[in-house]
Amino acid sequence: MLETALKGSKKYWLWLGFLFGLHVIGVIIYFGWQWPKGLMITGLGRDTSWGFYIAQFTYLVGVAASGVMVVLPYYLHHYKKFGRITVLGEFLAISAVVMCLLFIVVDMGKPDRALNIILHPTPNSILFWDFVVLNGYLMINLVVGWAALSAERKGMPTPRWAKPIIYLSIPWAVSIHTVTAFLYCGLPGRHFWLTAILAPRFLASAFCAGPAILLLVAMIVRKVTKFDAGKEAIQTLGKIITYCIILNVFFLALEFFTAYYSNIPGHMQHLTYLFAGLTDHATGVWHGTYVPWMWASVILMLAAIVVLVPPKWRANEKVLAFGCILVVIGTWIDKGMGMIAGGFTPNPMHQVVEYIPTGKELMISLAVWATGFLILTILFKVATTVKEEVEA
């Protein structure tokens, strides 16, 4: 089936070339600077030891997990309208997991020792379990997506042996984002993350952001190929996105209530830093670089709710697409920027040391995104070509 990715229009190759170009730039920066010099080329430091890379990782674990939002209705509830979009969801999950793994590798100080995680397996470390569930999820989606698509090409139903794996993929999807939340929410002394609602919050933001990306990509696919995911599938996806963005904002509000009504400084200060800025007790200097971003995030998410809730507005695909863009950007700022930096600021000694990513760090991140979209494009090319063949 992979050979179908080798025949495409000029636009297809141009797009692939563009993504590959970004990938190459990232590889050059990584091996030209970060590999020889170390992570000092990033904005990371002693106080904020995880930053943009890990934040992207967290966001993308969500995108990967969100594949379940099309898999579950289709396979568990036999919602036939999702028949055409399900494989796209699985392929989006594959490329998202690949990006996650790449972000972990570029974040490591000693990537050449990565296999120590397998050589010295340590079950009490959540990172060990994250390694297990992410690689497992990648395998599951590769097997299931490929099996379903090749069966479809031959005009056969999805093979019976794949069914148990498909059912397994549903709780597994939930597990990858739960385990990722556990990386943070089990750490004493990091009060921003030390909240039992972190995993549900992650899942809520994932289940709106992931399907929103899927919906936007499906609309682009409809424009550039003959493959149409179907009007009803897109509308149902819109409903899922609407419910989940409301849940996400609700969960965020719960965090605010607990922190500020309890009035416990450790719980308040990270939110205060993100949304109003914070003054360092010792130096007297105020820091608040993230303030406009965080407010933009909240406003974008609220605007998305306003746009998406009225059924008539949502029925208009242009409005729906606009709402999805608001969801993607709003949740990305929340998770891809504020979530990690905010957890580290102020530091355990209540010093306010801001983290600002560097240009090189951002370029390497962009390259990882480009690599993921390169894989996504190739997988979608295969999927849409097969579906076009079948329908022809």
Maximum separation of any 2 CA atoms in the chain, in Å: 71
Please say which residue, 17 or 265, places its beta carbon nearer to another protein: 265
Q: How many CA atoms lie within 13 A of 376 on its CB side?
A: 26
Please say which residue, 75 or 344, places its beta carbon nearer to another protein: 344
d(CA 344, CA 365): 20
Please say which residue, 111 or 230, places its beta carbon nearer to another protein: 111
Q: How far is the CB of 212 from another protein (least distance, A)?
A: 29
Please say which residue, 40 or 253, places its beta carbon nearer to another protein: 40
Please say which residue, 8 or 43, places its beta carbon nearer to another protein: 43
Q: How far is the CB of 281 from another protein (least distance, A)?
A: 7
Q: Which residues, including other chains, have CB under 8 Å from residue 277's CB and lie 6 or more apart?
A: 286, 287, 288, 291
In 10 A of CB 153, how many CB atoms? 16
Tell the residue number behind the tokens 């959540």, with chain if given. 126
Q: How far is the CB of 105 from another protein (least distance, A)?
A: 10
Cis omega (within 30 of 0) for bond into 346: yes
d(CA 43, CA 360): 9
d(CA 233, CA 69): 12
Please say which residue, 73 or 343, places its beta carbon nearer to another protein: 343
d(CA 380, CA 68): 18
Return the beta strands (E) in the chain as ranges: 278-279, 286-287
Helix axes 291-308, 265-276, angle to 10 degrees: 80
Please say which residue, 77 or 120, places its beta carbon nearer to another protein: 120
Q: Where do contacts with another protein occur on this chain (CB under 8 A)?
A: 37-40, 44-47, 49-50, 107-111, 113-114, 116-117, 119-120, 122, 124-128, 131, 183-184, 186-190, 265-266, 281-282, 343-344, 347-351, 353
Please say which residue, 109 or 157, places its beta carbon nearer to another protein: 109
Q: How far is the CB of 350 from another protein (least distance, A)?
A: 5
Nearest to 181 by CA among 314, 54, 80, 74: 54
Q: How far is the CB of 358 from another protein (least distance, A)?
A: 11
Q: How far is the CB of 204 from another protein (least distance, A)?
A: 23
Residues 286/278, Cβ–Cβ less than 8 Å: yes
Q: How far is the CB of 23 from another protein (least distance, A)?
A: 23
Q: How far is the CB of 334 from another protein (least distance, A)?
A: 19
Q: Which residues, including other chains, have CB under 8 Å from residue 45's CB and lie 6 or more apart?
A: 353, 355
